Structure 1
């Protein structure tokens, strides 16, 4: 769908704005912990080895909700609320993560699509909320690509569970 500069979205019509249209098309529902672990096995998400205080620590990828870049460091946010800071850049961490499940909506964050709760379109900014309560901005340049990645992830979830028992899907 193409939007021209001279067409101004109406404030009264909620579906005339491009971000609202995207929300209508992509409205995720959070998955339970059991389903997340099951999907992690199916998406082949191995443990991630992280440098931590002189030794290496193994962390299961499916427990990571999001990663936040802070200079040359990356702050991991986990499902249980714990956080871990490692001395690697977000770009290096992005190359180690599964590109099917982890998406970079902004230069400062990488999120796990398994923990995507809702998409919030505002007038000029698209934000997403995660299961742990965090809200992450989606940059304007990456918004359409982000929506495509979420839709592709939804289709993969549907393909994985055609024969299996029903799992709460992203709408």
Structure 2
């Protein structure tokens, strides 16, 4: 079973995040981040323009502050921007598809929370 979504993306009031990269600090608007992916002690931020930025911070540092801006942790490695979830699917587990076309599986323990948040957004 597959569901398709269209959530409103509000960029008003969202701050820029200064991400420390190997080239120095780079400002990134939080609304441009599709998802964050953990790579041990590093975190990749995948942006709407298809680029990715790497930072030497662990993904756990981003979870709480980003939750205030419409992001949700769907598994151990991924924090997704709710505004860029385009579909969800339940086959062998629950998965979401993001704007860039990538599918990400929700962990067993986080599935109910992800479903609940998506259901709330659909009713808005």
Contact 1:74 1:87 in 2 (8 A): yes
1:62 corresponds, among 31, 41, 65, to 31
Displacement after TM superposition at 1:147 (Å): 0.9
* Greater helix fraction, Structure 1 or Structure 2: 1
TM-score (norm 2): 0.88
Distance 1:144 1:98, change over 3 A: closer
RMSD: 1.9
Which runs of 5 or more residues in structure 2 are unaligned? none
* Greater strand fraction, Structure 1 or Structure 2: 2
1:132 is aligned to 2:108: no
- Paired position in structure 2 for 1:148: 116
Partner secondary structure for residue 149 of structure 1 = helix
The number of equivalent residue pairs is 124
Contact 1:68 1:108 in 2 (8 A): yes
- Paired position in structure 2 for 1:47: 16
1:111 is aligned to 2:109: no
Which runs of 5 or more residues in structure 1 are unaligned? 1-19, 159-171
